Amino acid sequence: MTAQLKTNALEAFFMPFTANRQFKQAPRLLASAKDMHYSTDDGRKVLDGTSGLWCVNAGHCRPKIVEAIQKQAAELDFAGTFQMGHPKAFEAASRLVNIAPQGFDHVFFTNSGSESVESALKIALAYHRARGNASKTRLIGRERGYHGVNFGGTAVGGIANNRKVFGNLVAGVDHLRHTHDLARNAFSKGEPEHGAELADDLERLVALHDASTIAAVIVEPVACSTGVLIPPKGYLKRLAAIAAKHDILLIFDEVITAFGRLGTPFAVDYFDVSPDIVTTAKGITNGTIPMGGVFLKTHVHDALTQGPENAIDLFHGYTYSGHPMAAAACVGTLDTYQDEQLLTRASTLAAYWEERVHTLRDLPHVIDVRNIGLIGAVEFASKPGAPGERAYTRFVKAFEKGLLTRQTGDIIALSPPLIITESQIDELIDIFTAVLKDSD
């Protein structure tokens, strides 16, 4: 394709979270993928350093998942799940609750992380109303939190760019401060030492609004999309204790951390903190077919299902909740995770990963390197007057040199598929080191 033709062919798609005009002048197009690698449309191999968009945990185009989707497409293309059902959705749900942390016996299906968040927030309100606490409606999020892009998720999220042009979003939302503190915690390995006391922000919001008005607090155990903000030691436990004390539901948004990213099936297992609701998506189908799942603790589920036998339990759901193809992809994914023990594999790689990621610390303009599980991040000093540019140019160069990374602000995040080998970790770090040495 000539450059001009290519530009014309790309025009119609108004791309999400993209500088469209800039991208279409020099597009990056991925044409195929296998295991740890993408291939570009011009035939270059690119090492996947970000599991697609944090979702392809088992690597690309895995046979069991491909077969499951193909078989399901030929057998049952669509069946709804409103007062109806089909076997694959029930199979997927049972398989999911089997690997979910203790006490999470039910899962509500959605089609994305954003929908999982909206569903969780609505379920929290419905839970309190069902228990006679209809005044508990206020929602608490956190600065620099990312909970997808629908109105509820944008409102509890803490990203100015995502919020500022969308008016009032949802009323009755407040935020905890974020926990990112380079002055105290730069170059931490794993959980940073300082900042557990920031969880007490929830007490301050209780004092301000009264617990009788607060339904839920939602946090990502590790806030990945805004640059890998790792919770300080003890922070999540402290937050959970305050929430429980005031009958505020704790929602963990595990859209990224669920399905093995930290070396345990869920972040709940890693941090040994038990919330009331857990939102998931991405790795639930290894990124293949859109799907999300909201995991409910028994008390949450039971509060919603205590009405008369013939009453609808929750007036909420999606045409595609538990879609046959997604459900089949989910079962094929869980088979793959289990066959290859991928849900715990990051724990065996974590020490090597940590050591290699931290070799980046003395490269030009690096002001922080951090890691947890099979996640890493490098933060750069911003160029005066051009925030984000340093990381963006490194992201582009890395792609040209055969490595896919994820840039957010002046941070680059790394989160390769869980099938990565030690020598592929070396390759990833070597490419990235060369890029960082070579950039101003």
The CB-of-367 to ligand PMP minimum distance in angstroms stands at 23
Choice between 283 and 324, CB closer to ligand PMP: 283
Choice between 112 and 371, CB closer to ligand PMP: 112
58 binds ligand PMP (CB under 6 A): no
**Range in contact with ligand PMP (rule: CB under 6 A) among 101-109, 220-228, 267-275, 406-414:** 220-228
Choice between 109 and 146, CB closer to ligand PMP: 146
Choice between 155 and 363, CB closer to ligand PMP: 155
Tell me which residues in 250-269 interact with ligand PMP (CB under 6 A).
253, 255-256
**Range in contact with ligand PMP (rule: CB under 6 A) among 113-121, 375-383, 388-396, 419-427:** 113-121
Choice between 219 and 357, CB closer to ligand PMP: 219
Choice between 30 and 367, CB closer to ligand PMP: 30
**Contact string (CB under 6 A) for ligand PMP, positions 141-170, x = contact:** -----xxx----------------------
- Using an 8 Å Cβ cutoff, are 137 and 125 in contact? yes
Rounded to the nearest angstrom, the gap between the alpha carbon of residue 243 and the centroid of all alpha carbons in its chain is: 22
In terms of Cβ atoms closer than 10 Å to its own Cβ (0-12, 13-18, 19+), residue 351 is: exposed
Distance CA 274, CA 343 (A): 18
The residue type found at 378 is V
Choice between 54 and 399, CB closer to ligand PMP: 54
The CB-of-133 to ligand PMP minimum distance in angstroms stands at 26
The CB-of-227 to ligand PMP minimum distance in angstroms stands at 12
Residue from 281, 291, 375, 391 in contact with ligand PMP (CB under 6 A): 281
227 binds ligand PMP (CB under 6 A): no
In terms of Cβ atoms closer than 10 Å to its own Cβ (0-12, 13-18, 19+), residue 80 is: middle
The CB-of-54 to ligand PMP minimum distance in angstroms stands at 6
The CB-of-253 to ligand PMP minimum distance in angstroms stands at 4
The CB-of-279 to ligand PMP minimum distance in angstroms stands at 7
Residue from 112, 179, 185, 371 in contact with ligand PMP (CB under 6 A): 112
Size of the site for ligand PMP (CB under 6 A): 15
Distance CA 83, CA 301 (A): 18
**Range in contact with ligand PMP (rule: CB under 6 A) among 34-42, 71-79, 111-119, 305-313:** 111-119
Residue from 114, 162, 188, 280 in contact with ligand PMP (CB under 6 A): 114
Choice between 148 and 227, CB closer to ligand PMP: 148
Please provide the size of the chain in residues.
440
**Range in contact with ligand PMP (rule: CB under 6 A) among 219-227, 234-242, 294-302, 350-358:** 219-227
Q: Which residue is nearest to ligand PMP (CB)?
A: 113
Residue from 224, 239, 329, 346 in contact with ligand PMP (CB under 6 A): 224
The CB-of-426 to ligand PMP minimum distance in angstroms stands at 27
Distance CA 255, CA 262 (A): 12
113 binds ligand PMP (CB under 6 A): yes
> What residues make contact with ligand PMP under the rule CB under 6 A?
54, 112-114, 117, 146-148, 220, 224-225, 253, 255-256, 281
